[in-house]
Amino acid sequence: MIINEKYTIKQSENTYFLLPFGQAIAEHKRGVTLNRAGAEFFEALKKGSLTDDELRENADFISSLKTLGIIDPLPIVSYNDDLIFQNAEKNILISNQNNRDVPNIDISVKLTDQFIKETKTDNASDNRFNIAGININIHADRSLIHEGFDLFKIPNPTHLAVNKGADKNNDLNIVSDSTPDLNIDIKEYTGVDPRNDFPVNKKSEPLIVNYQLCVYPSKNGNTYDLFFPFNNFVFFANISCDGKNAELYYVPASAGPENEKIKNELFHTLRLIFLYKASLEGMFAIHSASLLYKDKAWLFSGQSGTGKSTHTGLWNKNFGTPIINGDINLVSVSDDTPMIHGTPWCGTSRIYDNKSYPLGGITLLKQSPENKVNTLSLPDKQLLVNQRIISPSWTEKMFDRNWEYTRRAVSDIFVAQLECRPDDAAAHVMKKAIDDHLLLLNN
């Protein structure tokens, strides 16, 4: 009996959850709610300490775990000394994801030093930014820097903001410190075949493998190597485990329109690098739209297509509430008051700012033929919010960190579920629930 190692037991009050991380999240595996006996049984199952009688008595439970792929999962990746990875024939995720025709990926490895020799950084300069109190230096050709960063540019590079995640005055906290928290080098690849020159530790098993992202621990254990199989220009990046240094490699283009595509791919890749660094600084990102109401930020989250942008748009239409970010919100939990911080990444909404606000609450949207607000238990709040996190959970340690951040955040704010239609009445129902919550806080 094989146990999927990409699951971990988490507890919230008296509720236990068996939750996926790493590759299991990439495969969209489901979690399971357990009682204490179920959690203890699973831990004993992992240790192999159960008797044959105990296994027979719990055959139904084991069968359920097999159905979910938690026990005896299908093989996803095969390895040998010559190949990094290739899609297994039974890999339903890669072959059928979004009905996309994904070919088998067969990557050979050349020496890392050969790859590095075939890169250059001509015309590169330092570009300084501050996002959520994190000082970033991007060493790159200025033409590769996305215009979304303009709002976060540090006016005087010799004076950088260092108060991470604590910008409560909605302005950059400028102090005398010229050391960036994160240095990023963007390099042009000048070799022949970037897919074959991918410099990874071929002896290690990947943490993540899917058609969008592959993550490998480096041979020395000091960096994570990132490979993007279906990008057109940006195939490889790495980031140090301490989040202080990163490198991105792109393939040059010959035409102007293609250069714009390179810039957009770099921008998207930089988001992943930044979110890894932010997670080390006490912050996590939630896939959500946000608005400003009564001097606090209110997040609305749900699965894609649930209507988060529609709902915040209804607030803006009916109550004139400004929208802060249309797609991604960064939450810090390092202080007593959870905060959200502006970032340039906002999906296709093009709505973002560089300010920070106290977090008032998080609403989890669910489509329904009627509009009503459901209260949630603390375990459900933590679970449902955690499921909306897009910060890296490549390892169990990263998942544990996000789980703890979620616990601290939801303990101090309003969290509820809104079953709703895409109409004005839904905004009025939710506004009343928030107003009632604020009234209780002030009494």
Q: If you count them, how many residues does the chain have?
A: 443
Domain identity same for 309 and 413: yes
More confident residue, 128 or 112: 128
Domain identity same for 343 and 272: no
Residue-wise pLDDT for 250-288, tens only, equals 988 765 567 889 999 999 999 999 999 999 999 999 999
More confident residue, 342 or 307: 342
Domain identity same for 302 and 328: yes
Counting the structural domains of the chain, the total is 3
**CA separation for the pair 443, 432 (Å, rounded):** 17
pLDDT at residue 178, as a whole number: 59
Residue-wise pLDDT for 63-83, tens only, equals 999 988 898 776 544 333 233
Assigned domain for 99 exists: no
Domain identity same for 134 and 244: yes
Domain identity same for 219 and 354: no
Domain identity same for 253 and 334: no
Structure tokens at 187: 């390099």
Assigned domain for 206 exists: yes
Domain identity same for 32 and 159: no
Residue-wise pLDDT for 95-122, tens only, equals 223 333 333 333 333 334 555 555 666 6
Task: Pick the closest to residue 4 from 15, 21, 391, 16 (CA basis).
Answer: 21
Residue-wise pLDDT for 24-77, tens only, equals 999 889 899 999 999 999 999 989 999 999 999 999 999 999 988 898 776 544
Assigned domain for 93 exists: no
Domain identity same for 32 and 142: no
Domain identity same for 291 and 435: yes
pLDDT at residue 224, as a whole number: 94
Asked if 27 contacts 38 with a C-beta cutoff of 8 angstroms, the reply is: no
pLDDT at residue 389, as a whole number: 96
Domain identity same for 217 and 327: no
Assigned domain for 342 exists: yes
pTM, two decimal places: 0.86
Domain with residue 330: its CATH number is 3.90.228.20
Q: Domain range for residue 40? A: 7-67
Which of 30, 50, 67 terminates a domain? The answer is 67
pLDDT at residue 174, as a whole number: 44
Give 55's contacts (C-beta < 8 A, 6+ positions apart). 62
Give 114's contacts (C-beta < 8 A, 6+ positions apart). 191, 197
Structure tokens at 430: 């939710």
pLDDT at residue 321, as a whole number: 97
